[in-house]
Chain A
Amino acid sequence: MLSRKQGRANLEIDRKFDVVVVGGGNAALTAAITAAEEDRSKKVLLIERAPREFRGGNSKYTRSIRYVHDHDNYSSGPYNKNEYIADIEKATKGYTTKEILEKVVTESADLPAWMNQHGITLHHAVRGAFHYSQANAFIMGGGKQLVNTYYYDLEKLGVKILYETCVDSFSQDRNGILIKVSRNGSSGEIYASSAVIASGGYEANLEWLREGYGSAIDNSVVRGNRYNDGIPLKKLFELGAEQIGEPNQAHWTAVDGRAPKYDGGFVTRIDLIPLGIVVNKNCKRFYDEGEDLWTKRYVLWGHLVRDQPDQVAYVIIDSKMLGETLMPMYKPYSGNTLGDLAVKLGISPENLIKTVNEFNEHVPESAKYDLMRLDGSSTSGLDPNKSNWSRKIDKPPYYAWPLKPGITFTYLSVKINTKSQIFLKSGGLLENFYAAGELTSGNVYGRGYVGGTGLVIGSVTGITAGKEAMQDA
């Protein structure tokens, strides 16, 4: 039994539960809600690693679901199963598990109704910043509103919630599962008939990340939740769970160089890259800034910046491009000349002027500029060229934002079947254990990412795991 800590909530809980859910984001919450609704007479416990005010894992940084639908109120047009599967197969270059992908995509169609039943409001309006695609529905208030709503549902269902509680180990005995937990230095034991592990990846565990990325991690930031240390995932591997995905595959984006080390979420992201050029610390361009629509390229730039010297780059625009897209949260560095700007950034003025002049000389004279589509306004003769939206950088003042790579979540996962059961390396299944959410994302994403699927994978695996776990209990 956990000992009571001064000034903390009482941990005098029953230590036997029918279903224990480890994690506190969307997957864990949907699992716990489903389990509790499946059999109201049984006892469900949710163990969240973060304190209450930071609960919700990475889900609180999400905002949309990509789902199969006909014409409906939440999107600008239909999106069918085949299109959805094709989009993911393209992004993953085939590194995906067919039956899991099939299940996630098929069951995505039921999500809006499930969410509505559980208090979530989806945006009706087809307007504003979010409606750039017909594939996604947007959550009123975003991911944290979703998380708060689901926690409220759990309270109403009488599910016990433990905050600030870490899982130290899992073990199996003939009664079920023994989970050793700790909080503020005191430790305790909880028994579960079955358990759903939905505690996310290890994007905040720098030591573990270094295994996949080396020292580049030290110059990167963690966009995701600081509490996602991946310990429960590690414990599953120690129990013999089969691994899927690679330790060097994760969701990355380019963020502002001034972003905090953890929990910057989406607001630190820089969306201005198609508006100008990107140079590294040596003032060299290194990739086609106008290769494709930004919605299809924003994930790539995290990897690109990570591969630059010291993981640093700068996006540079001139004043005619200011306001063409969402403004980042951080104000830009500015200079009335490119030289001034370079000095403020701490890079070589001569080299920056040279790179910009060279770029300007290769911009086509009569270019039609249209940011909403691939406008074909390409430079020629440069290495690399900028394929679209090429305009001269010549109207002072000039603006720059420093870039850094930011990791959102990791793909390294436990291998699951369509019942969210966990495969063992040695063959067979890890009995009474179920997995959901980010720590199963590798079953879908061996590579790449498609926007709005994180919540869908979490919900589909979460609902399945919650239901199966309760049937086990």
Chain B
Amino acid sequence: MPEVSMFVSNIEESERQYMICNACRHCEGFCPVWDAMERRNFFEAKDIKFFSYLCHDCRDCFYACPYSEPHEFGLNIPKLNSTIRYQIHAENAWPAAASSIFSRSYLSATVVYLISIISLLYISISINGVNSLFTVHSSFYNVIPYDIMDDAGLALGLYILLMWIIQGFKYWASIGGGSRDLFRLRAHVVSIYEVLSHKWFKGGGVGCDYPKENGTRTRMFYHSAMFFGFLSAFVATIIAAYLQRILGYNPPFPILSGPVFFGVIGGVLMIIGGSGFIYMKHSSEKDKADSRMLKSDYVVIAMLILISITGLVTLILRSSSIMGLILVIHLSLVGTLFAIVPFSKMNHIIFRYLALLKNNVEVSNAAARKVPQISGGN
């Protein structure tokens, strides 16, 4: 297969580039990749796959490097890492045949969306009739019955969890992670802290050279909005499930309830973060990323924005006659995202977390082993 042989050569090319980096080390401090690199003398495929997801794509290294393209050493670490991240998604897809869902992200999102909206319309119409889509309702379940919504949601949630566990294990094995290391509590605590604080979105203090050369924290801002927006929407869902299943309240919930409050905050934050991301990615320098990876970014970001917008519109118009139709559109978008998550950029949540975990395991192991580093001046 041509893709496989290309992957091998990308690994070899990464090895060549990291050998130059390891003889230089000026980028130390931008991100954990450089410390992880310094713990090694030579690089194998497992190291390269580890580095590429430890990389947060800030691009500081590209601009700080006197050997970046067009220098004859031709370094372009951001681009290589992006390409290898793409390969990681393809390689760890399970079942393997499903990797084309990832590689053809536009097509698969469209097809899944069509399937999901058609099935929801079919369900809604066959149970409640066409008119129910254009009638004022007191409950969302008059449009889609509770059992169906609940079962589908739970099933999709479990499916994502299962897929993430399988793909996570595959990736963990591919970067040489030990099974015991998955239970290193301290490394988990540090990794979670790094995720929540967006520690590696600061370029070690100089900001990220993204989308353009001069360091800023814009990307950190948009990613935080996306991240906490997503978390907030997730919290809204949990509270809603609690209210409904344990306390027996049925939606729609009042404006001042947990689900609406967290849902609105989440939706607004994701719209801000998502739009910012699309703008930044659009204006970013394309020679520093794999165009296929960029495409898969756009799909997920666009879906999250659309879900947020339709969710907010559902809230605003929930007493109007077109609530039914909007709800169906919203739910089919949610269903689509859930269905494609394990074959989308959303997997970066798992891969990047595991790369951070591996790094923190190595950091605590390395304290025990110190290699003398002698080096001259300039």
In angstroms, Cα B207 to Cα A140, docked, is 11
Query: CB within 8 Å of A: which of B300-346?
Result: none
Partner of A323 from B24, B27, B41, B375 at Cβ < 8 Å: B41
Partner of B72 from A56, A260, A322 at Cβ < 8 Å: A260
Contact indicator A266/B206 (Cβ below 8 Å): no
Contact indicator A129/B66 (Cβ below 8 Å): no
In angstroms, Cα B204 to Cα A148, docked, is 17
- Give the chain B neighbours of A294 by CB distance below 8 A: 374-376
Contact indicator A63/B375 (Cβ below 8 Å): no
Partner of A63 from B70, B206, B214, B378 at Cβ < 8 Å: B378
Interface residues on A, range: 35 or more
Contact indicator B376/A123 (Cβ below 8 Å): no
Give the size of the chain B interface in residues (CB under 8 angstroms): 38
Chain B residue with Cβ nearest A294? B374
Query: CB within 8 Å of B: which of A306-332?
Result: 322-331
Interface flag for A379 (CB, 8 Å): no
Contact indicator B25/A295 (Cβ below 8 Å): no
Contact indicator B63/A322 (Cβ below 8 Å): no
Known pairs A53-B70, A327-B19; A271 contacts B374 (CB<8 A): yes
In angstroms, Cα B42 to Cα A323, docked, is 9
Which of A129, A141, A143, A371 gathers the greatest number of chain B CB atoms within 10 Å?
Answer: A141
Known pairs A60-B66, A323-B371; A121 contacts B378 (CB<8 A): no
- Give the chain A neighbours of B24 by CB distance below 8 A: 142, 265-267, 329
In angstroms, Cα B336 to Cα A168, docked, is 66
In angstroms, Cα B371 to Cα A123, docked, is 21
Interface flag for B362 (CB, 8 Å): no
Contact indicator A132/B375 (Cβ below 8 Å): yes
Interface flag for A64 (CB, 8 Å): yes
Interface flag for A415 (CB, 8 Å): no
Interface flag for B65 (CB, 8 Å): yes
Contact indicator A148/B206 (Cβ below 8 Å): no
Shortest Cβ gap from B183 to chain A (Å): 28
Shortest Cβ gap from B42 to chain A (Å): 7
Shortest Cβ gap from A450 to chain B (Å): 8
Interface flag for A274 (CB, 8 Å): yes
Chain B residue with Cβ nearest A147? B66
In angstroms, Cα B19 to Cα A152, docked, is 30
Interface flag for B97 (CB, 8 Å): no
In angstroms, Cα B65 to Cα A140, docked, is 12
Chain A residue with Cβ nearest B373? A129
- Give the chain B neighbours of A54 by CB distance below 8 A: 70-71
Interface flag for B30 (CB, 8 Å): yes
Contact indicator B66/A61 (Cβ below 8 Å): yes
Shortest Cβ gap from A430 to chain B (Å): 30
Contact indicator B20/A267 (Cβ below 8 Å): yes
Interface flag for A405 (CB, 8 Å): no
- Give the chain A neighbours of B27 by CB distance below 8 A: 141-142
Interface flag for A289 (CB, 8 Å): no
Contact indicator B378/A408 (Cβ below 8 Å): yes
Interface flag for B285 (CB, 8 Å): no
Contact indicator B67/A265 (Cβ below 8 Å): yes
CB < 8 Å A-B pair total = 145
Contact indicator A372/B42 (Cβ below 8 Å): no
Which of B28, B42, B70 gathers the greatest number of chain A CB atoms within 10 Å?
Answer: B28
In angstroms, Cα B378 to Cα A375, docked, is 25
Contact indicator A144/B377 (Cβ below 8 Å): no
Contact indicator A123/B29 (Cβ below 8 Å): yes
Contact indicator A325/B372 (Cβ below 8 Å): yes
Which of B26, B372, B375 gathers the greatest number of chain A CB atoms within 10 Å?
Answer: B26
Contact indicator A325/B376 (Cβ below 8 Å): no
- Give the chain B neighbours of A213 by CB distance below 8 A: none
Interface flag for A114 (CB, 8 Å): no
Interface 1/0 per residue, A363-391 and B, CB below 8 Å = 00000000110000000000000000000
- Give the chain B neighbours of A130 by CB distance below 8 A: 25, 28, 375
Contact indicator B378/A325 (Cβ below 8 Å): no
- Give the chain A neighbours of B374 by CB distance below 8 A: 132, 271, 274, 293-295, 325-326, 371-372
Query: CB within 8 Å of A: which of B76-130?
Result: none
In angstroms, Cα B60 to Cα A253, docked, is 29
In angstroms, Cα B207 to Cα A152, docked, is 14
Which of B29, B35, B372 gathers the greatest number of chain A CB atoms within 10 Å?
Answer: B29
Interface 1/0 per residue, B1-25 and A, CB below 8 Å = 0000000000000000001101111
Known pairs A123-B29, A141-B64, A327-B19; A372 contacts B372 (CB<8 A): yes
Contact indicator A329/B20 (Cβ below 8 Å): yes
* Extra contacts besides A121-B204, A152-B214, A299-B377 (8): CB < 8 Å: A61-B66, A130-B375, A141-B206, A294-B374, A324-B372, A326-B22, A326-B23, A329-B24
Residues of A in contact with B (beta carbons under 8 Å apart)? 53-54, 56, 60-64, 121, 123, 125, 128-130, 132, 136, 140-145, 148, 152, 253, 260, 263, 265-269, 271, 274, 293-295, 298-299, 322-331, 371-372, 408, 449-452, 454
Can you report 29 residue pairs joining A to B where beta carbons are below 8 Å apart?
Answer: A54-B70, A56-B66, A61-B378, A63-B378, A64-B378, A121-B205, A129-B373, A129-B375, A130-B375, A140-B204, A141-B27, A141-B60, A142-B24, A142-B26, A144-B66, A148-B64, A265-B66, A265-B67, A267-B23, A271-B375, A294-B375, A295-B374, A298-B376, A325-B374, A326-B374, A327-B22, A327-B23, A327-B42, A331-B19
Which 6 pairs show the lowest CB-CB distances between chains A and B? A451-B377, A142-B26, A298-B376, A141-B64, A329-B23, A145-B64
